[in-house]
Structure 1
Amino acid sequence: MIRLVTDYLDYAAEHFPDKEAFIDENKTLTFSDLQIEAQRIATQLAKRKVFKKSVAVFLNKSVKCISAFMGIAYSGSFYTPIDTSMPMSRVEKILETLQPEVIITDKKHKEDIELFFHDIEILVYEDLMTSNIDGLLLKQVTECIIDADVLYVLFTSGLTGVPKGVIISHKSVIDYTEWVTETFKIDDQHIFGNQAPFYFDNSVLDIYQTLKNGACMYIIPEQLFSFPIKLLEFLDNKKINTIFWVPSALCLVANLRALHKLHVKSLNKILFAGEVMPNKQLNMWRSEYPEALFANLYGPTEITDVCTYYIVNRDFKDSDALPIGHPCLNTSIMVLNDKNELVRNDAVGELCVRGTSLSYGYYNNQAKTSEVFVQNPLNKNYREIIYRTGDLVRYNEYGELIYVSRKDFQIKHIGHRIELGEIETAISAIQGIETACCIYDENRSKIVMFYTGDVIEDMIIKTLNKTLPVYMLPNKKIKLDKMPLNLNGKIDRVKLKELL
C-alpha cells in the first residue's frame, strides 16, 4: 500500500537503483543516488526535530531541488520551492507568510538569502551531502507520518499579485499520481521533458510520475524555450516521449513555424494545462504528430493540479473552444449557478470541486480559505467541503465541460454580461494572430484587446464582425512585440492592466 510519496522513491530505488531518474544540465541522479541524498537531508532535519514544519527550498531549478523535496518529505515536514530567479520582493512576501523553520539552499545562494533573513536557520546543500544517514532515526520518524500530513505548500498569486500558499497533503498527491498513471498508461519507459517551474503545480505530474513508475525526467534548460528549433532538437536528442507544458510554450513553437522543420520521432504524449489552449495552434501540433495522444488537463493549484481532463479525440475548427472534458476518477464536479443550484442544459455556472484532491486551504490565511473552501450547498446533512474555483463553465452537446472564463473576467458592458474568454477565443482563431488577451478598462468602460502577430487591424474587426455581436467587439486594440508572461509561463494580466 502506498501511504507516503516517499514510498514511490523507496520502490524505485529498490527496483531501478542504477537507472537515470532526474537529469539537468549539470547533474544526473539515479534513483539510488536520489534516495541517498534525500535521506541525508532528512537525517539532518530529524536531528533538529524539524517535524510537521515548513521548510523552504531556495535553489535554482535543478535535480538538487528533487533531493531537497524528498528529504523534507522523509523528515515528516513539508516543502515550499522558491526559485532563485524570483524577485526578492516576492520571496520576502512568501517567507513572511510561511515563516519556515529552515531554509535549504546551496553555497552559491547562501549569501543572497542571509542578506534578508537572519533569524532562520540555513542549511547548505553541499554540507548536507557530506553527512551520514541515520536509518533508525528515519524509521522512527516515518512511523509518525500519515498520509493526511502536508507534503508541500505552493504559492500562487492569481490576479492580485499577493502570494497565497496552497496546502497539499501526501494523500492528495498520491490520489492524483495514481490517476495519471492509470489514465495515460505511464510506465518505466516514459521520458519526461519538464517545462514547468517547481513552484508551479504542473511540475507535480512530471516529478511524481517519474518517482512512481521508475521513469526518467529531463529538466529542459529554460533558455531553450526562446529557441524552438533548439528546443525540438533537445527533445529529439534525449528521446523524450512525454511532455506536459503550459499552452504558451506549445504556441510559441507553433507560431514560430518550428514544427515542420524538425520532427521529434520519440514524442507521442503531449499534455497541457494552466491556461486556454487555442485550437489554431493545437491543430498545427496535431497535423505534425497525428499519432500522438493530446490531452487538455484542467485544474487550479487548490485541487492538486488537475480535476478534469479531455483526451482530444475529434477534429476542431480553429475558432472552436477545446473542452476541458470530464472529472478525473475520484473527483466530483458540480456546476452551480448564482443561486447555488446545479445548472441545466448549457447554462453557464461556476465549477466547484470535491474530493481527495482538495487543498487544506491557504497557509496562514484563514479568511481567504473560508471564502472559497465552503460547505457543499447541496448537502445540508453533514460537513462536506467543496472548492469554488471561480471559473465559469458550461456543458456542450457531448456532455463535456467547456471553460468559458474566470468570474473575474465576466464583465458588464453597455448593459450586457460578457465573458472576456469568449472574445479571446474568437480573436485567437484569426489568421496572423499569435497570442491574444482582453482586459476590461473599467474607468473608460472599454474592452481592450492586446495581441501579438502580423495582421492588419481592419482585418481583425472585419473577421470578428462575423463571429461576435457588436457589443462584444474590442473598443481598443494594442499590438505588442511580445506578450508578457508571469513566472508560471501564463499571460500576465496584471502587467497588461498596467498598460491601460
Structure 2
Amino acid sequence: MNNVLEYLENSAKNFPHKTALTDPSSSCTYKELYDRARIIGSYLSGLTASEKPVVVYMDKCVEALISFMGIVYAGCFYTFINPDQPAARIGQILEVLQPDCIICLGDADQKLRGLSFHGTIFDYLKISSPLFCERLNAIRSESSDTQPLYCNFTSGSTGVPKGVLVSHRSVIDFMKYFPDMFHITQDDVIGNQAPLDFDVSVKDIYSAFKTGASIVLIPKKHFSIPTMLLDYLCSHQVTTLIWAVSALCMVSQLKGFTYKVPDRVNKVLFSGEAMPASHLAIWQKYLPHAQFVNLYGPTEITCNCTYYPVLKVFEPEEKIPIGIPFPNERVFLLGPDDKLITEEGKTGEICVAGTALALGYYNNPKQTQKAFVLNPLNTHYPETIYRTGDLAFYNNLGELCFSGRKDFQIKHMGHRIELEEIELVLNSYPEISRACCAFDTKKNRLAAFYCGELDKKELLKRMRETLPSYMIPNLCIPVLHIPVTANGKMDRKKLLEMCL
C-alpha cells in the first residue's frame, strides 16, 4: 500500500451506501464521497502539478473533507485554512505555500485577493468536470508513499507559521496500528472535535476511512455550550471521541453530565496537554464502561508516538503517564549532554525516530535542520530523529511521564521551574475546576489563573504547604474560563494579556 486513497476506495467498495461524513447541514455516503473526490481530482489534475499544495479555504464541513480526497486524487497535498483565522496569518501561510489553487465554499475571492493571492480560486459548488480515469490512473501509477499528503501549520519561533509536511507513508504506518489497538471498527461513529488543520483530525479521518466508520463533524460553537454538545453526541449516537484535553475539561468543568450522559460513547482518547486527574475521574464516573487512553505526540511525528491506557482512577495530585511507544516508533530521552537517559526519575528531552517522522517544514530548510537532526547516539549511519522540545521521565514501571515543555521551563528567582508542576498542584484542589500558569518575561513574574471558588488568600496558603517559595505565583487571578487556542490548548498568551 502506498496511498491513503486505498482506505477510501475499500470503504466505498465495502460500504457504498453507508454514511461516511455528517455535519449540521449535509452528509454523504462513502460512494458519494468517492465519486465526488474523483471529479475534483480530475478537475484539479489539469490545472496544477503533482506534489503541489492546494488550499481548502472553508469552515469545517463535509465539503472540506471531500476536497481533501479530491486533492489527493490529483497527486497533490492539502492544507486547510479556516477563514476565521486572522488575515495576517492566512497571508503568511499562503506566502509559505505559494499554491496555484484554492478551493472555497461560496464567494471568498475578494478576501483572498486582498491577501495578494494571484492563483486560481474555485468554488467547490461550481466544480464540474468529466471523469478523466486514465489521467487519474497515470497520476496514481507514478505516485510513491513518500509523497506529501498534507501540510498543517503550527506557530513558528520566528513569528512565521511553520508548515509540517507529512507523507502518505507516515500516515499509513500510523494507521497500520492505531484503529486496531483501540478497537475502532465499521460500527463506530467518530465525533470530530479537532479543527481540520490540527493533526488530531488526521486520526478521525483515516481511522474512519480505513475501517468504514462514520465521522460526525461537531461545530466549534458546541464546545462552549455543554447542553448543545451533549445533545449532538446523543442524537448522532457517537461512540468514539478523539479530543483535545480542553474539550473534555469543558464538559466536566461546566457539569455537563448532570444534564445528559452520552452513554453510547465507549472510547475516549485525549491529547494536546496534561489531563487533570480530577477531570478524568468525572468522565470515568459517568462513562464507567468506556476505554480511556492518554495519547502523546507533536504534529511533526504524525499524530502520536506514545499511549497510555487508563485502567484506574488517579488521585487529583497524580500525574497520568504518557505511556509507551506505538509500534514501529522509537521514543527515547536525551539529557543536556545528548546522553541517553534510561534511569527512573531523571528528566530528559523526548526524541523520536522512525517512519512516523514528518518530511520537514515546507519551504523552511533552516527550521527543518534545527528540529530534524541526526541521532547523536548513532555514529554508524545517518539516522534522522525529531527533537520534540518536550521533557519527560520514566516512572517505576518504565512508563514515560510528561514533565513540561522546554520553553515552559522558566528561570525564576534563580531556579528552573516547570509551569506544569504548579498547574498539577492547583488542579488537585477540589474548589478549583481548571488552572493555568504563565510567566510574564517582561516583569519577571509568575501568574496563576484559575476557575473556582477559592479566594486568593486561601489559595496562597495551600500552595505554601506544597510548593517551595520560588514556585509560588506572584499573581493569582480568578477567571470565569480558561481561553484556548484554535487547536484546543490553553492560551497562555491571552491570559498574560490580563496582567498588562
Q: TM-score scaled by structure 1?
A: 0.97
Q: Is the 1:51–1:75 contact (alpha carbons within 8 Å) kept by the matching residues of 2? A: yes
Q: Is the 2:323–2:399 contact (alpha carbons within 8 Å) kept by the matching residues of 1? A: yes
Write the letter of the residue equivalent to 2:260.
L
* SS of equivalent residue, structure 1 residue 108: coil
Structure 2 residue ranges without an equivalent (≥5): none
* SS of equivalent residue, structure 2 residue 257: coil
Aligned match of 2:485? 486
How many residues align? The count is 498
In structure 1, how many angstroms separate the alpha carbons of the residues matched to 2:287 and 2:200?
23
Q: Which digits, 9 at most, give the CA deviation of each residue in 1:457-495, with x for residues without a partner?
A: 122122222322222111211222332211112111222
In structure 1, how many angstroms separate the alpha carbons of the residues matched to 2:435 and 2:365?
35
Match status 1:199 vs 2:201: no
Q: Is the 2:78–2:151 contact (alpha carbons within 8 Å) kept by the matching residues of 1? A: yes
Question: Which structure 2 residues correspond to residues 291-310 of structure 1 after superposition, within 5 A?
Answer: 291-310=289-308
Aligned match of 1:281? 279
Question: Which structure 2 residues correspond to residues 413-432 of structure 1 after superposition, within 5 A?
Answer: 413-432=412-431
Aligned match of 2:461? 462
Shift of the alpha carbon at 1:161? 5.1
Q: Which digits, 9 at most, give the CA deviation of each residue in 1:67-91, with x for residues without a partner?
A: 1110111111101000121111110
Aligned match of 1:237? 235
Shift of the alpha carbon at 1:159? 6.7
Match for residue 152 of structure 1 among 147, 150, 171:
150
Shift of the alpha carbon at 1:452? 2.2
Shift of the alpha carbon at 1:276? 1.2
Q: Is the 2:233–2:262 contact (alpha carbons within 8 Å) kept by the matching residues of 1? A: yes
Identity over aligned pairs, percent: 42
Write the letter of the residue equivalent to 1:479.
P
Moved more, 11-20 or 172-181: 172-181
Aligned match of 1:261? 259
In structure 2, how many angstroms separate the alpha carbons of the residues matched to 1:394 and 1:364?
34
Aligned match of 2:51? 52
Write the letter of the residue equivalent to 2:309.
I
Write the letter of the residue equivalent to 1:493.
R
Write the letter of the residue equivalent to 1:197.
P
In structure 2, how many angstroms separate the alpha carbons of the residues matched to 1:395 and 1:30?
45
Q: 1:161 to 1:25 in 2, by over 3 A?
A: farther
Shift of the alpha carbon at 1:441? 2.5
Shift of the alpha carbon at 1:104? 1.0
Shift of the alpha carbon at 1:221? 2.0
Write the letter of the residue equivalent to 1:273.
S
Aligned match of 1:177? 175
Aligned match of 2:336? 338
* SS of equivalent residue, structure 2 residue 422: helix
Match status 1:371 vs 2:348: no
Q: Is the 1:110–1:124 contact (alpha carbons within 8 Å) kept by the matching residues of 2? A: no
* SS of equivalent residue, structure 2 residue 361: coil
| Alignment root-mean-square deviation, CA | 1.4
* SS of equivalent residue, structure 1 residue 259: helix
Match status 1:16 vs 2:3: no
Q: Which digits, 9 at most, give the CA deviation of each residue in 1:396-446, with x for residues without a partner?
A: 111111111100011222222211111111111112222222122233332
* SS of equivalent residue, structure 1 residue 402: strand
Aligned match of 1:190? 188
* SS of equivalent residue, structure 1 residue 405: strand
In structure 2, how many angstroms separate the alpha carbons of the residues matched to 1:327 and 1:336?
16
In structure 2, how many angstroms separate the alpha carbons of the residues matched to 1:345 and 1:236?
43
In structure 1, how many angstroms separate the alpha carbons of the residues matched to 2:477 and 2:48?
55
Aligned match of 2:388? 389
In structure 2, how many angstroms separate the alpha carbons of the residues matched to 1:385 and 1:74?
30
* SS of equivalent residue, structure 1 residue 116: coil
In structure 1, how many angstroms separate the alpha carbons of the residues matched to 2:427 and 2:330?
31
In structure 1, how many angstroms separate the alpha carbons of the residues matched to 2:458 and 2:255?
22
In structure 2, how many angstroms separate the alpha carbons of the residues matched to 1:463 and 1:313?
30
In structure 1, how many angstroms separate the alpha carbons of the residues matched to 2:220 and 2:171?
26
Aligned match of 2:115? 116
Aligned match of 1:65? 64
* SS of equivalent residue, structure 1 residue 466: helix
Write the letter of the residue equivalent to 1:393.
A
Aligned match of 1:226? 224
Shift of the alpha carbon at 1:49? 4.3
Q: 1:364 to 1:197 in 2, by over 3 A?
A: same
Shift of the alpha carbon at 1:324? 0.5
Shift of the alpha carbon at 1:23? 0.4
Q: Is the 1:193–1:240 contact (alpha carbons within 8 Å) kept by the matching residues of 2? A: yes
Moved more, 62-71 or 412-421: 412-421
Q: Is the 2:107–2:123 contact (alpha carbons within 8 Å) kept by the matching residues of 1? A: no
Structure 1 residue ranges without an equivalent (≥5): none
Write the letter of the residue equivalent to 1:326.
I
Q: Which digits, 9 at most, give the CA deviation of each residue in 1:272-309, with x for residues without a partner?
A: 11111110100111111111100011111001110111
